[in-house]
Structure 1
Amino acid sequence: MAAAATPAAPEQTPKTSASVSVPFDLSQPPVIEGFSPLPKVKDETLKEKFMRKTKENPFVPIGCLGTAGALMYGLRAFHQGKTRQSQLLMRGRIFAQGFTVVAIIFGVFATALKPKQ
């Protein structure tokens, strides 16, 4: 019988990181031929962005505040044992959430239909 031959493993050479060169600078954005990105006007702070978005669609923050208020008062009433008032406030919370969702959808459609500047 013939003895089974073991396959020879290919020689593995260790790769050094010193010999690897990076073909481009990772700290800069890539240069794409025929593409020029629009320049950034300015970075907005969180407060500036919140104020701009609130002016564009003021019903979303109103709905969020209504939802949070109804939730807080409903939980407080539930904790105090006022089940009737708690149920009414939880229903009000659902209404406020629906109002907020409709306001968001309305804002998305209004933004999509607004002509580009």
Structure 2
Amino acid sequence: MSATENPAKEIEDGQRRHMSREEIIKQLPDDLHKLGAVKGMMGPPSLEDYQPIAFTDNRATFFETLVKQCKANPFVPLGMTATVFFLSNGLRQMVKRNSLKSQQMMRGRVLAQGFTIVALVGGLAWEVLKYGKNDDNKEK
């Protein structure tokens, strides 16, 4: 092997030897050269090849999502509203030292919470039954 064929010898007689692209590719292992994994990776990317990614924000706003969920299962917001009503009135009666009315409001709150849980589970079961039938029809 002569001095010009030795790629490891960069400096010869005080001058740096610049290798061509083809010489660099020849030095690579055969499997990389065969795959062509390095041929396109010489040098930094050019600005002409740059294409910015356009992001579109298709997300719904909080209010749109809230309205959609309330339309899907209207009994849950109804139960939540009743719970807040009974809780606030029960606390107000407790501050007024009206223990009988406060106790009634707290029992109403428990019932309203139970109604909300039943509405959540019922809505979930309805959705599973509704979309479960559609999935079975698609498979057939």
Taking structure 1 as the reference length, the TM-score comes to 0.62
Q: Determine whether 1:93 maps to 2:99.
A: no
Taking every aligned residue pair, what percent have the same amino acid on both sides? 39
Distance 1:111 1:49 in 2: 17
Q: Is 1:105 matched up with 2:121? A: yes
- The aligned counterpart of 2:80 is 64
User: Match of 2:91?
Assistant: 75
Structure 2 gap ranges (5+): 1-57, 136-140
Which of 1 and 2 has greater Rg?
A: 2
Secondary structure of 1:114's counterpart equals helix
Unaligned runs of 5+ in 1: 1-41
The structure where helix makes up a greater share of residues is 2
1:55 is matched with 71
Runs (4+) of structure 1 exceeding 4 A deviation are none
Distance 1:77 1:60 in 2: 26
| Inter-partner Cα distance in structure 2 for 1:45 and 1:87 | 40
Higher relative contact order (CA 8 A, sep 6+): 1
Q: CA RMSD in A?
A: 2.0
Query: Which residue identity is paired with 1:76?
Result: R
CA distance in 2, matches of 1:45, 1:63: 24
Q: TM-score, normalised to structure 2's length?
A: 0.53
Aligned residues: 78
